Amino acid sequence: MEWQGEAERTESINGDRRRDRRYGIHLDLRWKLIRRRRVLETGVGQTVDLSSGGILFVSGRTLPVGLNVELAITWPVLLRNEAPMQLIVSGRIVRTSANGTAVEMVQHEFRTMSTASERGRQGSTTTPSPSMLLSSGNGGAGFSKYR
């Protein structure tokens, strides 16, 4: 029975029993609340911490548990030292509290964003690229997957 006591001590280290290691990092994001493929609401926020399985973020308001959410997180590293990127996350809201909204990650991918000079060169008659949609200032409505 000695192993049982050891296992209990291990589970309660810092009160965290999650499978995935969480990294405290504060990054700007845009969120979209989704129900049945329809965008219900959009907003901006900031990550509190993230892991390979989920994200805790501050949304500026209480979001309903159980709904799907898409997050477009501004990534702090440039691709090849030149292209800005976003981490796009789809998931389900599993908990909300004064500390923020917890999302269980279902899918994620990195996408590049266009720079201001690329947007200026393309003109108004150009079909928008996925990176243009990601970086558009439309309240977060333009970062769903481009098809």
Residue-level pLDDT at 136: 40
Query: Three-state SS string across the chain, please?
Result: CHHHHHHHHHHCHHHCCCCCCCEECCCEEEEEEEECCEEEEEEEEEEEEECCCEEEEECCCCCCCCCEEEEEEECCCCECCCECEEEEEEEEEEEEECCEEEEEEEEEEEEECCCHHHHHHHCCCCCCCHHHHHHCCCCCCCCCCCC
pLDDT of residue 114: 72
Rounded Cα gap, residues 121 and 15, in angstroms: 52
Q: pLDDT value at position 120?
A: 61
| Mean per-residue pLDDT of the chain | 76
* Alpha-carbon span 139 to 142, nearest angstrom: 8
* Amino acid type, 56: L
Q: What is the dihedral of CA 46, 50, 52, 55, to 10 degrees?
A: -60
- Res 108 pLDDT > 90: yes
| Res 116: pLDDT | 61
> What residues does each domain of the chain span?
20-135
Question: Which CATH fold topology does 20-135 show?
Answer: Thrombin, subunit H (2.40.10)
Residue 26's pLDDT band (cuts 50, 70, 90)? very high
For 44-88, how does the pLDDT look when each residue is reduced to its tens digit (9 = 90+)? 999 999 998 999 999 989 999 999 999 999 999 899 888 999 999
Give CA–CA dist 94/60, Å, rounded. 17
Q: Which structure tokens are listed for 11?
A: 């589970």
**pTM > 0.75: yes or no:** no
* Residue pair 73/96 in contact by the 8 Å Cβ criterion: no
Q: How sure is the predictor about 92, in pLDDT bands with cuts at 50, 70 and 90?
A: very high
